[in-house]
Chains A and B, each alone.
Chain A
Amino acid sequence: MRRPRYGTHLFLLFMAALWLAPLLWTLYTALRPKAVTDKYGYWSLRGPLNLDNFSTAWTQGQLPTYFVNSIYITVPAVLLTLALAAMMAFAVSRFTWKFNITLLILFTAGNMLPPQVLAAPLFEMFKHTPLPYSLSTSGSLLDTYYAVIAVEVAFQLGFCTFVLSNYMKTLPVELTEAALVDGAGVWRQFRQIILPLTRPALAALGTLQVIWLYNDFFWPLLFLQTGDRLPITTGVNALQGQFIQNYNLIAAGATITVIPALIVYLALQRHFVAGLTLGANKG
């Protein structure tokens, strides 16, 4: 690679500008008051910049509610997914039994299906599952976070199990065999030996899952009917319908929605990239 790098740098600079343009345009639009863009047009540098659109989108667009709802869904779903996936991965990777590979294959396959394939049966199953009104205003699993969480867990379980089982396979067999000789039961092997060693993978997967669930649009769209129960990604789409004529507010809402994902990314970039590539490299 001794050729001059001008071409390469030019290419990268050009691409980077292309990549940043939509984001900067959104931010700029969000910072300009509607009255200013009405007067000078969106393609203009004139007029003041301020944060008014952000506060309007925040208060009128129900964004705080959507954010809290996202937390209600994301936190339990990620924890449950990791817990179940770790147990399953442990069982299939550290023990040999009749159907362990078959099950792992089915788990992995399930994760790759387009979600729309399952939509109708899941909707009907949840509709016909009665719940007391104290738990669900719909009297069924519809319009509840349980429904969304359960399906998110089931759908992510395959991927996490696959990644974690590959990871656990790389841990030396001697570790658990020694423990077994010492009389440690299966649960203790899992909790005290394997799980601590799986921490990097769990951190990476956890970060990845938080972002994915935060970004998920489809399942809440299908199962949640009440507007103020929507999580942020589904909610911000409703925002777009509500402010159809006001690009400035839409841009502000979009910018606000990006911020948490961006914070997670900047703080946990290493884990996130590791999570994305874990499934690719190991195994």
Chain B
Amino acid sequence: MTQSRRTVLKGAAALGAIPILAACTGGDPASSSDGKATSLGSGLADAVPKSGIQAMVDGFQTSSGDTVRLNVMPRDQLVNNISTYLQANPEDVITWFAGYRMRFYADKGLLAPIDDVWEKIGANFGTGLAAASSHEGKKYLVPNYNYPWVVFYRKSVFQQHGYQVPKTFDALVALCAQMKKDGLSPIAFGGKDGWPAMGTFDYLNMRTNGYQFHVDLCAHKESWDSPKVKAVFDNWKALLPYQDTAALGQSWQQAAKNLANKKSGLYVIGTFLLQEITDKSVVDDLDFFPFPEIAVEGTEAVEAPIDGFVMSKRAEKNKAAKDFLAYLGTPAAQDAYAAKDPSNLQTAAGANTSSFSPIQKKAAELIAASKNVSQFFDRDALPAMASNVMIPALQGFVKDGTIDTRGLEAQAKTLYASA
């Protein structure tokens, strides 16, 4: 008898748990249409950008009286799960990227168009940014900042060894050889998460074959099984001996340490490097040069991805979400972010550039002087191609210097056909 009573109690306890659960996973969704509450899903989890996003949220809450629920997740968690995230329970506003990577999800109907937001903020952005935020005539993105990918070095290291900034690829290879002789690990590299290697690939590709080839290759209008692609990897082979051999086991953040403590001489990375290196004495000692020229004359193509905010489909009717997005597109909001994160460049016209650090100034000039701006391989190409094919392929290449371009083409064919 006692047992049966206990069983009943257990059953009751199990049933009793259900309302508790409802309280945990249910409740008013932030996207309810009362228009005073919204939410932001942010993949900016490192300390510096996180505080920048918080500053933007605070600024909006103060100025509008609306509330923003902030959900911060590690960048790679957001990126790797974006497809399921957008389909399941996304926040209203989400930190995301320009390029095909935005258009792909817009096309799938997982993002909401925000043309009415752009009516308010459109004047803040030039035609290039507007185009990068559009898909089939509709706007889907509010740009926040951009940043160029460059080659970083420490001035004191260059001074100490008498190094010169290389203008050509051959000079770069020669410099690396000299660095190795001098006991440095020439190029810092963090390939554990896969995507950082794409920066090197993109530059080698654009410098070898030109900007248009990058665009066409990403769209799979050019074949991977071509002499042009092979030439990219052949050039890379010249650099490979000088890239940190421990690359595959460390993240880009861990690799940053090697540049900061002078173990490595160079680092091919975006200027967001300064989110990770914050020690003032090191920051003042940092400088960069554009990825040097190879076959294509000059260094006019710059890889300068745009980060911004998109709106999830289900938030379509939430006025607070749109007000929030409109706020995010103002110089004031972007300045609030930039005050915390001095590594990126605000995109809104009228944003405060007077407080730019020397690195930021130089980065802005680099982008302004460029003829073509690429986003980044994983933003310009089909997501499945970037994450399922290129990451393993590049990791394999970094590991042993072999690449199967025929296999890349076979996979690209299947994936682009089924997209």
Contacts and interface: CB of A to CB of B under 8 A. Distances in A.
A and B directly contacting (CB within 8 A): yes
Contact of A142 (B10, B73, B87): B87
A37 interface: no
B20 interface: yes
Contacts of A245: 253-254
Contacts of A139: 29, 314
Nearest to B250: A244
Interface in A205-262: 222, 225-229, 238, 241-242, 244-245
Contacts of B314: 139
Interface in A15-73: 69, 72
B76 A83 contact: no
Given A136-B26, A137-B29, A83 B14 contact: yes
Contact of A145 (B7, B21, B32, B88): B21
B74 A137 contact: no
Contact of B29 (A133, A191, A196): A133
Contacts of B21: 72, 76, 144-146, 149
A225 B22 contact: no
B254 A138 contact: no
A133 B25 contact: no
Contact of B32 (A133, A140, A143): A133
B24 A145 contact: yes
Given A227-B72, A238-B73, A137 B27 contact: yes
A137 B84 contact: no
A13 interface: no
A139 B30 CA distance: 12
Interface centre among B14, B32, B88, B251 (most CB of A within 10 A): B88
Contacts, number: 110
Given A137-B89, A191-B4, A195-B7, A241 B76 contact: yes
A146 B4 CA distance: 26
Nearest to A240: B74
A123 interface: yes
Contacts of B73: 227, 238
Interface residues of B, number: 40
B120 to A, nearest CB: 28
B3 interface: yes
Contacts of A225: 81, 84-85, 88-90
B77 interface: yes
Contacts of B17: 72, 75-76
Contacts of B18: 76
A79 interface: yes
B417 interface: no
A134 B27 contact: yes
B71 interface: yes
A246 to B, nearest CB: 11
Interface centre among B2, B87, B314 (most CB of A within 10 A): B87
Q: In terms of DSSP, what is the predominant structure of the interface of chain A?
A: helix
Contacts of B24: 69, 72, 145, 229
Q: How large is the interface on A (under 10, 10 to 19, 20 to 34, 35 or more residues)?
A: 35 or more
B13 interface: yes
B14 to A, nearest CB: 4
A145 B25 contact: yes
A199 to B, nearest CB: 7
Given A72-B20, A133-B29, A136-B26, A142 B88 contact: yes
B28 interface: yes
A277 interface: no
Contacts of B3: 191-192, 195-196, 199
A276 interface: no
B314 to A, nearest CB: 7
B45 interface: yes
Given A133-B26, A139-B29, A227-B72, A192 B11 contact: no
A203 B17 CA distance: 21
B419 interface: no
A226 B2 CA distance: 41
A83 B10 contact: yes
Nearest to A123: B84
Nearest to B87: A127
A80 interface: yes
B1 A192 contact: yes
Interface in B80-119: 81, 84-85, 87-90
B10 A79 contact: yes
A83 to B, nearest CB: 6
A81 to B, nearest CB: 10
A135 interface: yes
Contacts of B90: 225
Contacts of A134: 22, 26-27
B253 A244 contact: yes
Contacts of A144: 21, 25-26
Contacts of B11: 79, 83
Contacts of B85: 225
Nearest to B22: A135
Given A83-B7, A195-B3, A241-B74, A136 B25 contact: yes
B88 A76 contact: no
Contacts of A242: 45, 74
Given A72-B21, A144-B21, A244-B251, 13 more contacts: A79-B13, A137-B30, A137-B89, A142-B88, A142-B89, A143-B25, A145-B25, A146-B21, A149-B21, A191-B4, A192-B3, A195-B4, A222-B84
Nearest 4 interchain pairs by C-beta: A138-B89, A143-B89, A142-B88, A196-B3
15 contacts: A69-B24, A75-B13, A79-B14, A83-B14, A133-B32, A137-B29, A142-B87, A143-B25, A144-B21, A146-B25, A192-B3, A238-B77, A241-B45, A242-B74, A244-B253
